[in-house]
Structure 1
Amino acid sequence: MEFPKLETERLKLVQVTKDHIESFYEIMSRDEITKYYGMDSLKSIEEASRIIESFERTFNNNRGIRWGIVTKDKGEFIGTLGLNNLNKWSKKAEIGFELHPSYWKKGYTSEAVKEIIRYSFDEIGLYRMGAVTYPQNSPSILLLKKLGFSEEGKLRGYLYQGNQSHDALIFSLLQPEL
């Protein structure tokens, strides 16, 4: 199956490859990024390489799709977003994303997430899009609500990070709600 390349007004959503290892590491080694990510900050380029390899395996196994977010104007790799826990038979997935802090509060995440929602519902045929986030992650919560996601509740002890369990909030968006 060919990887779906998508575009928005300002962004290209592309397959994350070895060419992106250094940029991906630069983002995922930052504590302000991973603080609410559900994993600890990367400590080496090798860790970044293994994660990128896992993106490809997950895609090839039809269990998820992870896109790199690249600016059209400068060709800069600024983050990733994608579908986790993809289940085409059950018509559901969870969306996740992260963006380099230099690009926060400029509408890039919203622009990219809208395109993934469109693609997921229109082209894959999903019915449900979930999102899991830390209760303290106000920017992500505000974005999800702005895009029409509904808060469903708290998942107690759902995320494990920093040698401890954390609660998470679950959000969803259903295809008929668009």
Structure 2
Amino acid sequence: MNKKETMINIETLNDNFEKDNILKIKGNKYLFRGRNLSKKEWFLETNTFSSFSKEKIRSRYIDNIHPVYQKMIFMENVNYSTMIALIFPAIFFSFVSFLIILFLSLINKFNFSYSEIINLKYYFVFLLLLLVGFSFVLFFKYLLGYKMYVSKKHGRISFNHLNKEKHQGMINCFDEYINNYKNDVFLTKEGNIGIRYITMFDLFDYYQMLANKRVMKYLLNKPIKSYKGVLNKINTHLEDYKEGKYFRLAIVNNENIMIGSIGVSKLGLTNEQCEIVYGLSEKYWYQGYTVQAVKAFISFLLEKGYKKIIATHVDKNVNSGKVLLKSGFILKKDLNRIMRYKNKNYNLIGYEYKE
């Protein structure tokens, strides 16, 4: 069976595959600039840093890596290296310890008295204690939140230990560096909330929303469980923006962090009528952000010339109804409808905005 090949422009993360920084991935093979690399070799190329600070993050061996991709591959590196250099050895040492215990129990069961066996028994007891000690240390470090990532040091492969604080510090450094690139030009604002275009720099925040089952449940969409899937979605939004379409925009807080999305549905869309759709990452629920976002978006749509603005929500999502009522909508029974999703019917409650 042929493995599917995927392509990523690691400089722009868009669908322009004519430039030099094109990565082709097929299985565990990474083809880049004529070189065929393994997953570990790719980590070495991208995550050996010549500089690492919130002002500047640079790879020693590959230039012009998009900071979002650099963070994404670093997180993959950490997961891979932690598994290879911390978890697997702990499991292996534990398994060997079990075999030694089994061997010692057999010696005791058959009551061997040969001096060679007795001496061998002492050696195995010593080895057992050593292996149990190694296993305990590795498991304990993992439970304390230790991580690892692989890079090159003085031309050699190095597995770098990261305690919980240092690992979080590196993630925070990536986030601050990425945040410096975010577009802070808002289309509209209301209170503490702004609405702007979604960009590649929103990848990780957008992923937190789209991968969450509870969030997507009421949006009647399947969760997206991969960064690649979210990248594809962002690329679609960017193409829509070029055509003046606002199917999805970013809801951001005072720190310019994407906390949700809002936009218009393609269903029943005309030059004068639109239906709004919105969603918020779970950790920002019940804090009044959605009402501010809806009000801001309504102002934006009115400026764009829309005369009739409607909205619907799944009948079980009572909180969404409260948001709409607080935002100036009224119930409209003639807008109620049934939507079929995953072989199941959902009752949608209709609303219309009244100034």
Asked whether the two chains share a fold, i.e. TM above 0.5, the reply is yes
Structure 2, unmatched stretches of 5+, are: 1-184
- Quote the residue 1:151 is aligned against: 331
Cα deviations by residue, 1:45-71 (Å, 9 ceiling, x for unpaired) = 122112222222333334434221121
The Cα of 1:41 is off from its aligned counterpart by 1.1
Shift of 1:12: 2.4
Q: Is 1:129 matched up with 2:309? A: yes
| 1:63-74 equivalent positions in 2, closer than 5 A | 63-72=245-254, 74=255
**2:320 aligns to what?**
140
* Cα displacement string for residues 103-156 of structure 1 (whole angstroms, at most 9, x for unaligned residues): 1111111111101111111x1111111112111111101111222322223312
Give the corresponding residue for 1:109: 290
Paired amino acid for 2:191: E
The separation in 2 between residues aligned to 1:112 and 1:55, in whole angstroms, is 19
Equivalent position amino acid for 2:291 in 1? S
Distance 1:53 1:165 in 2: 31
* Aligned residue identity for 1:30: N
Query: Alpha carbons of 1:62 and 1:84: their partners in 2 closer, same or farther (altered >3 Å)?
Result: farther
> TM-score if structure 1 supplies the norm length?
0.84
Q: Aligned in 2, Cα 1:4/1:87: closer, same or farther, shift over 3 Å? A: farther
**Count of residue correspondences:** 167
**Could you tell me how far 1:163 is from its partner in structure 2?**
4.5
Relative contact order: is structure 1 or structure 2 higher (C-alpha 8 Å, sep ≥ 6)?
A: 1
- Work out the CA distance in 1 between the residues paired with 2:238 and 2:340: 23
Instruction: Name the one with the larger strand percent.
Output: 1
Q: Is the 8 A contact 2:337 2:347 kept in 1?
A: yes
Matches within 5 A, 1:27-176: 27-72=209-254, 74-85=255-266, 86-88=269-271, 91-121=272-302, 123-153=303-333, 154-156=336-338, 158-160=339-341, 162-173=342-353
Partner of 1:17: 199
1:63 and 1:87 in contact (8 A); partners too? no
Are the aligned partners of 2:337 and 2:348 in contact in 1 as well (CA < 8 Å)?
Answer: yes
Contact kept in structure 2, 1:38 and 1:159, CA below 8 Å: no
In 2, the alpha carbon distance for the partners of 1:159 and 1:24 equals 26
CA distance in 1, matches of 2:322, 2:280: 15
Distance in 2 (CA, whole Å) between partners of 1:50 and 1:163 is: 26
Larger Rg: 2
| 1:60–1:42 CA distance, 2 compared to 1 (3 A) | same
Give the partner amino acid of 2:264: L
Identity of aligned residues (%): 22
Tell me which amino acid in the other structure corresponds to 1:129. I
Could you say what secondary structure the match of 2:248 adopts? strand
Letter in 2 for 1:39: N
Consecutive unaligned residues of structure 1, counting only runs of 5 or more, are none
1:102 Cα offset (Å): 1.6
User: Does the C-alpha gap of structure 1 residues 84 and 41 become closer, same or farther in structure 2, counting only changes over 3 Å?
Assistant: same
1:84, 1:35 → 2: CA distance?
17
Partner of 2:133: none
Q: Deviations along 1:147-176, whole A, 9 cap, x unmatched? A: 2322223312x242x453423222221xxx
The answer as to whether partners of 1:6 and 1:13 remain within 8 angstroms in 2 is yes
Instruction: Sort the Cα spacing of 1:167 and 1:78 in 2 relative to 1 into closer, same or farther, 3 A.
Output: same
